[in-house]
Amino acid sequence: MRGMAHTAKRLLPFAKNKVIHIDAVENPVLIRLLRDDRTLPLLRAGLKSIDPQYEILIPYKVDDEEAQLKRYIQWHMGTTVNLSELRRRHLKYYLRLYDYGSPAEVIRRWGLTPEHDRIFTEKGMLEALEAFRDEDGIVKGVTKDERLYKSLKYYARKAGKSVQEYLKGHNIPYRGRGTDG
């Protein structure tokens, strides 16, 4: 195993986002070792001893489908995975995450960090609504800020309420979509 950790170190210059794609490896001896079914698991173990996030990606040579999906996602996105961007740029990988659970939970379980495009915390979202109060204190026009409105709908749904009911529960007077100006 120690010998393979040393050999695995020779693969590090070919890594992108801590994933060594076989097509990026230029050394013919290392390519041969990567393609050998006996040495590949030892090289993977050697890389894991260096850093647990290192992976070897060999297309069409799948040892574990979930691990292979992790390798592709990590290779494309890095160790911090923006799930909004993954969904936009690599929909098939994003949808396959659901085979293993909630996308954010799966990414966390893999030891990667999930993030989204500017998601509001509930407190931040409620504070942002203040900018939409008119002179009478009524919140209106929120639908003009798509990101804020989506967050508002998300937290309302999460509470099992309509947007109007949710805001009423927070003592925020609201003029809904039909009367938004």
pLDDT band at 127 (very low <50, low <70, confident <90, very high): confident
The 10s digit of each residue's pLDDT in 57-105 is: 999 888 899 999 999 999 999 999 999 899 999 999 999 999 999 898 9
As a whole number, mean pLDDT of residues 163-181 equals 76
SS3 174: strand
Domain ranges of the chain: 1-61, 62-117, 122-179
16 strand-pairing partners: 19
What is the model's pTM? 0.64
Nearest to 21 by CA among 65, 66, 60, 79: 60
- Please give the residue that has the higher pLDDT: either 129 or 40: 40
